[in-house]
Amino acid sequence: MSIQAPRGFNDILPGEQYGWRDSYRWQRLEEIFREVARLYGYQELRPPMVEYVDLFVHGVGATTDIVTKEMFNITPRGDDPDARRMAMRPEFTAGLVRAYLENGMPNNPQPTKIFAYGPAFRYENVQKGRFRGFHQLDVEVFGAQDPAVDAEVIKLGLDVVARLGLTGLVVSVNSIGCPNCRPRYREALQNHFRPHLGELCEDCNTRFERNPLRLIDCKRDAGHPAQQSAPVTLDYLCDDCRTHWEGLLSHLEAMGIPYQIDTRIVRGLDYYTKTVFEVLHPKLGAQSALWGGGRYDGLIEVVGGKPTPGVGFGMGMERVLMVLEEEGLTAPFADRPRLDVFVVTLGEAARPVGLKLLYELRDAGISADIDYLGRSLKAQMKYAGKQNSRYVVILGEDEVQRGEASVKNMDEGTQESVPLDQIISHVRRAEV
């Protein structure tokens, strides 16, 4: 085999042996997410996987790593004069905001509480927990500035992983202020770092002018005394942001959510205001963030709407599933769906009878399968066992002549003769 999946992309496969790539685990995680989202009053919106690049430039931020070096660009037909640059989505928020505005959703009763999930793409270097094609569970609330919503969103994510049995999570929160208080903080940061520019990395020298907030979360300069002693956003919050911040903390406490304040969280996206948070798990190596998010009160206006507050998060499905695997938490995935009936036929005469029964079983909503390889009885039984079938219905010459079938309960090892027209009810009855 010379052709492989593209670097940084994974196959999600049927079978427990594939660990976090087991497609059944993905189904369960998605089910749990939908269920929790429904519980909180969120509704699903499915945006396209591709958007015009401009949306991400404005909606994610022109200075962000995502836009400057990680965009997964699509090349449209070169002969189309109207072809605009497009890109695979690197995250969900921008596309959801676009869809919210484009479809007139601001005219609906507010707030608008949305969930979405699916693949996202970032063209970057691959390592543990970081891929070029990955999947997120995402929620967004548009049109509410109450810090109780920030807290709700954090709680929602925790509920999802709680249902998976995951513990040992660390919720880190911070506030990075708003356009009112940011300039003062920005200036303080620049004054603080200016004397040390020569000692900092080149990226930080670029950030100094374009995005000084990023100076404090640069890991290359981590440990540098200037970074350690850098001014903290929380000391520069305006009254509005301070009230919001204190409100968030009191809501978290009221909900009994343990948290830690991490003043180095600034988030890589330009649009965040006030609340930012990350939820970490130590078992993931260098990529310890299972999910992260925050408030973005300026974003919707930037994308073209009226000033509207927003808050949300994106959770990494791969990361969640990898942590579950490392923790040995397989219980949420224990009850795998199984085949109800495997139909075994012996000889030419039984074949059409078996096929007819197969179709009737499926029509009745009973999962059923049959051998298509002309295998021996023994091999068919073996195969039925491998498929983890509850029952095997055996149709041989004798049974067909009597209008009956031998029905074997594969778990009990018991077997009895059942008239053909009673097989469905027999299997159903036993199911209860």
Partner RNA sequence: CUGACCGUAGCUCAGUUGGUUAGAGCGCCAGAUUGUGGCUCUGGAGGUCGCCGGUUCGACUCCGGUCGGUCAGCCCA
| List of residues contacting RNA (CB under 7 A) | 4, 7, 64-66, 91, 122, 124-132, 134, 136, 203, 214, 217-220, 222, 267-269, 278, 285-292, 314-316, 318-319, 346, 375-379, 381-386, 392, 394, 396-399, 406, 408, 410-411, 413, 415
Cβ proximity to RNA: between 168 and 285 the closer is: 285
Cβ closer to RNA: 121 or 236? 121
* Structure tokens that stand for 168 in this block: 């040992």
DSSP class of residue 2?
-
Closest distance to RNA from the beta carbon of 136 (Å): 5
Nearer to RNA, 254 or 430 (CB): 430
Nearest residue (CB) to RNA, 45 versus 216: 216
CB of 122 to RNA, least distance (A): 5
Q: Name the nearest CA neighbour of 222 among 242, 248, 200, 247.
A: 200
Provide the minimum distance between the beta carbon of 102 and RNA in the complex, in angstroms, as a whole number.
Answer: 23
**Virtual torsion, Cα 152, 217, 128, 295, nearest 10 deg:** 20
For 184, residues 6+ apart whose C-beta sits below 8 A from its C-beta are: 236
> Phi, psi (5° rounding) for residue 314?
-125, 130
**For residue 249, with 0-12 CB atoms within 10 Å meaning exposed, 13-18 middle and 19 or more buried, which class applies?**
middle
What is the b/e burial string over 302-339, where b = at least 16 CB atoms within 10 angstroms of the residue's CB? bbebeebbbbbbbbbbbbbbbbbbeeebeeebeeeeeb
> To the nearest whole angstrom, how small is the minimum distance from the Cβ of residue 189 to RNA?
15
Give me the least distance between CB of 91 and RNA, in Å please: 6
Q: Which amino acid is at 218?
A: C
| Cα separation, 273 vs 410, whole angstroms | 59
- Collapsed DSSP state (helix, strand, coil) of residue 70: coil
Distances (CA, A) of 235 to 193, 230, 232: 17, 11, 6
Question: Least CB distance from residue 384 to RNA, whole Å?
Answer: 7
* Residue 186 in tokens: 């920005």
**Cα dihedral sign for 338, 320, 316, 167?**
positive
Find residue 117's DSSP bridge partners. Answer: 137
CB of 402 to RNA, least distance (A): 9
Rounded to the nearest whole angstrom, what is the least distance from the CB of residue 194 to RNA in the complex? 19
Q: Which residue's CB is nearer to RNA, number 105 or number 368?
A: 368
C-alpha to C-alpha distances, 169 to 165, 194, 279, nearest whole angstrom: 11, 37, 7
CA distance 263 to 216: 9
Choice between 76 and 128, CB closer to RNA: 128
Q: Specify the residue, 113 or 122, whose C-beta has the smaller distance to RNA.
A: 122
H or E segment and range at residue 65: helix 65-69
| Residue closer to RNA (CB basis): 89 or 105 | 89
Nearer to RNA, 223 or 307 (CB): 223
Min. distance of Cβ 227 from RNA in angstroms?
A: 11
Least Å distance between CB 133 and RNA?
8
Pick 178 or 213: Cβ nearer RNA: 213
Both tokens assigned to 97: 């905001």
Partnered with residue 35 across adjacent β-strands are none
